[in-house]
Copies of this chain bind each other. A is one copy, B any other.
Amino acid sequence: MGRYGKRADLIVHGHEPFNAETSLAALAEDSMTATDAFYVRGHGAVPEIDPAAWRLRVHGLVDRPLDLSLGTLREAFREHTETATLQCAGNRRAGLIAIRDIAGEAPWGPGATGTATWTGVALADVLALVHPLPEAAHVGFDGADLCPEARPPQRFGGSIPLAKACRPEVLLAWGMNGEPLPPVHGAPLRVIVPGYIGARSVKWLERIELRARPSYSYFQHVAYRLLPEDGTPGPGAGMPLGVVALNADVLSPADGETVAAGPVEVRGYAFAGGERHVARVDVSLDGARTWSQAELLEDLGPWAWRHWRLTVDLAPGEHEIVVRAWDSSAATQPEDEAGLWNPKGYVNNARPRIRVRAVA
């Protein structure tokens, strides 16, 4: 068992702050990701919070600000449980770094994502009690974690549009996979914004602010923005990330693995953000010339990825396996990573490609 109750097979990108991704083998076990295998993306030390003293302040462009204890939150509002995939905007960055180095950003592989059930209350129910003013258009979140990398150093934060915040799927969660939310995942309370990049699901939540404009947090206004290839990070530069772009990767076999020739099960995940779902996943063994449709596995609802699998017959020798997912708008993934490189290394959603060697 590693730090924070995590399994030893997590791939650790940093110890302080703690950043670790789930191994492909652990992701491949099940469409649901076990809590002790779930990836952690942190920008500061895990704060120590006394749940009995913790308060949530809801203020800003509202008619009636609130200041709530955890007990009041749990007593006043109806409990909801939802299955949702979280995915870091830096998931699969390693594929971009392979093209050109990205200084100061961790080389996340395809394991900066996972799917869990989350239990809490609907943010919409809380917002209904504060009566947002007509000029409120965004909902900002502030956590308790101090992030030294931000300029100036500040607590983690971000915002989502009010229209999204009012949708029933957005939760303030205290539970994960049927157990109390672990401290490393944001206890006592975190936001869960299904379909959005993980950064908007702010952990260790302390403050909700109704705003006319998006948050000026470093993590909304400077970081987590897609810059053009020749761009420079700065306040307001590039496009803010929110809804997750269609993505997919292969979980098994591993890239570079040697397998027995004959039937081989290829398995992976595909995730369509926002209000879209995964409609099809194709696998090619001949360099994207012809494709076979993979079987989509368990449907965990509108906010979760789909695992998929296809058994292919591999003759002895070297093989490249290429995969492409399609979402419900009939959009598919970009062919390759070359056109996706960006200075902060976000949103690598190119078709995954792996090489395997089959031996008789």
Task: Please give the residue numbers on chain A whose beta carbons come within 8 Å of chain B beta carbons, in ascending order.
Answer: 226, 228-230, 239, 241-246, 273-276, 279-280, 282, 288, 290-291, 293, 324, 326, 328-336, 339-340, 346-347, 349
Q: Which residues on the B side are within 8 Å of A230 (C-beta)?
A: 290
Assembly stoichiometry (copies): 2
Q: Which residues on the B side are within 8 Å of A245 (C-beta)?
A: 329-331
CA distance A196 to B245 in the complex (A): 18
Which listed residue, B229, B273, B275, B335, touches A335 by the CB 8 Å rule?
Answer: B335
List 27 interface pairs A-B (beta carbons < 8 Å), by A numbering: A226-B326, A226-B330, A228-B280, A228-B291, A228-B293, A229-B290, A229-B291, A230-B290, A239-B279, A239-B328, A242-B328, A242-B329, A243-B328, A243-B329, A245-B329, A246-B329, A274-B274, A274-B329, A275-B275, A330-B346, A331-B347, A331-B349, A332-B339, A334-B334, A334-B335, A335-B335, A335-B336
Known: A228-B291, A245-B329, A245-B330. 9 other contacts (CB 8 A): A229-B291, A239-B280, A241-B330, A243-B328, A244-B329, A246-B331, A274-B276, A288-B339, A332-B340
**Do B329 and A332 touch (CB < 8 A)?**
no
Q: Which residues on the B side are within 8 Å of A339 (C-beta)?
A: 288, 324, 332, 335
Q: Which residues on the B side are within 8 Å of A328 (C-beta)?
A: 239, 242-243
* A238 closest partner in B (C-beta): B280
The listed residue with most B CB atoms (<10 A of its CB), out of A243, A288, A293, is A243
Task: Rank and list the top 3 A-B pairs by shortest CB-CB distance, nearest first.
Answer: A245-B331, A243-B329, A330-B347
CA distance A228 to B230 in the complex (A): 37
Which listed residue, B228, B241, B273, B279, touches A282 by the CB 8 Å rule?
Answer: B228
Q: Which residues on the B side are within 8 Å of A336 (C-beta)?
A: 335
Q: Which residues on the B side are within 8 Å of A282 (C-beta)?
A: 228
* A280 closest partner in B (C-beta): B239
Chain A interface, >50% SS class:
loop
**Do A239 and B330 touch (CB < 8 A)?**
yes
- Shortest beta-carbon distance from A322 to chain B in Å: 10
**Do A273 and B239 touch (CB < 8 A)?**
no
CA distance A58 to B35 in the complex (A): 48
Q: Which residues on the B side are within 8 Å of A331 (C-beta)?
A: 245-246, 331, 347, 349
Q: Which residues on the B side are within 8 Å of A329 (C-beta)?
A: 241-246, 273-274
* A282 closest partner in B (C-beta): B228
Q: Which residues on the B side are within 8 Å of A276 (C-beta)?
A: 243, 274
